[in-house]
Amino acid sequence: MSDQTSTPPALDDQLCYALYSAGMAIQRVYKPFLDQLGLTYPQYLVLNVLWAEDGQTVGAIAEKLALESSTLTPLLKRLEVAGLVKRTRNPQNERQVVVSLTDAGLAIRSKAGCLGNALLGASLQSPNDLSDLNRDVRRLRDTIYSQLGGWTTPA
């Protein structure tokens, strides 16, 4: 049997690292603004899901963020303690927890718009360039997930 191992490409030549480190860079741009809002990046993502459609189950939010419900629950508890969301049992299915925005959770949305402007400034890209990049990365993500038979992409 022949040895079919090979040396991996240099880190900077790996797409996975470029995407990972770009994500980390974006989170660093967002951090001062999120700190002012009293949010972590994952909490910001949860609020984005609810700003698009309020009153979703924990399972639906987890699916949209490609997370396990068990990972999401502590996040939701912290958002609830902060007064940004409320969790209630679904009266039609007691096993489901529905997450809804509070007035404070709705109000913070207008303050979160500065994140996009911060990214535009830090990236030195045009809005069209960033939009094209976003489209291409989403296409890559969706194709990979379709091959894995996993995560259903959000509409």
The dihedral built from the CA positions of residue 43, 44, 48 and 50, taken in this order, carries a sign that is positive
Short-list 18, 44, 43, CA closest to 133: 18
- Tell me what pLDDT residue 106 has: 96
How deeply is 87 buried, as exposed, middle or buried, from its count of CB atoms within 10 A (0-12, 13-18, 19+)? Answer: middle
Question: Rounded distance, CA 115 to CA 121, Å?
Answer: 10
Tell me: the pLDDT tens digits for 3-12? Answer: 567 888 999 9
The rounded mean pLDDT for the chain is: 91
Tell me: the pLDDT tens digits for 44-59? Answer: 999 999 999 999 999 9
Three-state SS string over 126-147 comes to CHHHHHHHHHHHHHHHHHHHHH
pTM for this predicted structure = 0.86
- Identify the CATH number of the domain defined by range 12-125: 1.10.10.10
Mean pLDDT of all residues in 94-103: 93
- Tell me what pLDDT residue 85 has: 98
Q: Quick one: pLDDT band at residue 38, thresholds 50, 70, 90? A: very high
Short-list 106, 45, 105, 92, CA closest to 71: 45
Tell me: the pLDDT tens digits for 134-143? Answer: 999 999 998 9
